[in-house]
Amino acid sequence: MSVRTDQSPRGEQGDRRPARPWRQRLSASLPVALARCAHPRQALAITLALGVAAAVAGRSTREVGLVLATVLVGQVLLGWHNDIVDTERDRRHSRPDKPIALGQVERGTVSYALACGVLVVVPLSIANGVVAGLTHVGVLLVAMAGNAGLLRRSRFSYLPWMATFGLLPAFLSYGGFAGEGSGGPPTIAMTALAALLGIGVHVTRALPGLVDDDRDGIRSFPLRVALRTGAPRLLVIATAYNLAVGAGILVAARAVGLVQ
């Protein structure tokens, strides 16, 4: 039987309880709990990757800053939405990395933060230009549909990831500060490679939860592959795949560029 650290018996001093370690108190604080719900490593990785891509494509400093802000807010919203949708499942599996499931932050609080974030991300997206902004909003909608169950339990669970990553080159190629100097459609090579990268990211992100997926009967694409290869081998395969596709993106960027 597990015992919560904040339910220790009261001592002789009435309601006073032993103070928890400062790291535990910090982890349970509202700002940190919200940050942990946002899947910060994935959010930062995707944000930095798109910021670097924008810089390499020749975007101005303020445009790169706008891309970073837009993508970061969008990724934070996706992380919050994922944890809201998966709350009951995370509680059932006692996930130690899920603040909502641990009771460190209320689900309603994260939902309110998500609603506020939507009011921020939409104007931020449109600030990149109408076409780029609508593309980014489309990325978020497809990703949220995937979180909510679109193909999530099927062998085609990679399709929403392909769609969202495949739209990111268009967000960059059409973008510009307030629509100024916006370009045209992305090259086919960059779009295809970005979509393929989405498959690799999907598999990599799914690996830690494959045991829980199997228990819940979720036969997603990563689980089907892992049942054939084993999770350790799949990790090696996914890492090699992501590196290969990433190298292909670098080659395509030099050969054909981002914009047609």
Average pLDDT over residues 69-81: 97
pLDDT given for residue 224 in this prediction: 95
Domain assignment present for 110: yes
pLDDT classification of 260: cutoffs 50, 70, 90: confident
Q: How far apart are CA 105 and CA 110, in angstroms?
A: 7
Tell whether the model's pLDDT for residue 98 goes beyond 50.
yes
Domain assignment present for 16: no
**Could you read off the pLDDT of 19-34 as tens digits, one per residue?**
467 666 666 688 899 9
**Could you read off the pLDDT of 29-70 as tens digits, one per residue?**
888 999 999 999 999 999 999 999 999 888 899 999 999 999
pLDDT given for residue 143 in this prediction: 96
Amino acid at 62: R
Q: How far apart are CA 243 and CA 190, in angstroms?
A: 15
Domain assignment present for 2: no
- Rg over CA atoms, the chain: 21
pLDDT given for residue 102 in this prediction: 86
Tell whether the model's pLDDT for residue 71 goes beyond 90.
yes
pLDDT given for residue 97 in this prediction: 82
Q: Do residues 153 and 218 lie in contact, with contact meaning Cβ atoms separated by under 8 Å? A: yes
Question: What's the first-to-final CA gap in the chain, in angstroms?
Answer: 61
pLDDT given for residue 72 in this prediction: 97
The pTM assigned to this predicted structure is: 0.85
Average pLDDT over residues 125-145: 95
Average pLDDT over residues 193-208: 95
pLDDT: which is higher, 256 or 12: 256
Nearest to 158 by CA among 202, 120, 112: 202
Task: Give 238-245's long-range contacts (Cβ < 8 A, gap of 24+).
Answer: 238/200, 238/203, 238/204, 238/207, 239/204, 241/199, 241/200, 241/203, 242/197, 242/200, 242/201, 242/204, 245/193, 245/196, 245/197, 245/200
Nearest to 139 by CA among 87, 177, 191, 97: 191
Domain assignment present for 7: no
Which helix (H) or strand (E) segment is 49 a member of? helix 40-56
Domain assignment present for 247: yes
CA neighbours closer than 13 Å in the CB half-sphere of residue 56:
16
Average pLDDT over residues 160-178: 92
Tell whether the model's pLDDT for residue 10 goes beyond 50.
no
* Residue with the two structure tokens 């940050």: 35
Tell whether the model's pLDDT for residue 14 goes beyond 70.
no
Tokens of 140: 């978020």
Query: What does the mean pLDDT of the chain come to?
Result: 88
Average pLDDT over residues 166-194: 88
Domain assignment present for 4: no
Average pLDDT over residues 170-186: 83
Q: What percent of the chain has pLDDT over 90?
A: 65
Number of domains in the chain: 1
Domain carrying residue 44? 28-255
pLDDT given for residue 2 in this prediction: 38
Tell whether the model's pLDDT for residue 168 goes beyond 90.
yes
Domain assignment present for 37: yes
Domain assignment present for 21: no
Q: How far apart are CA 162 and CA 54, in angstroms?
A: 20
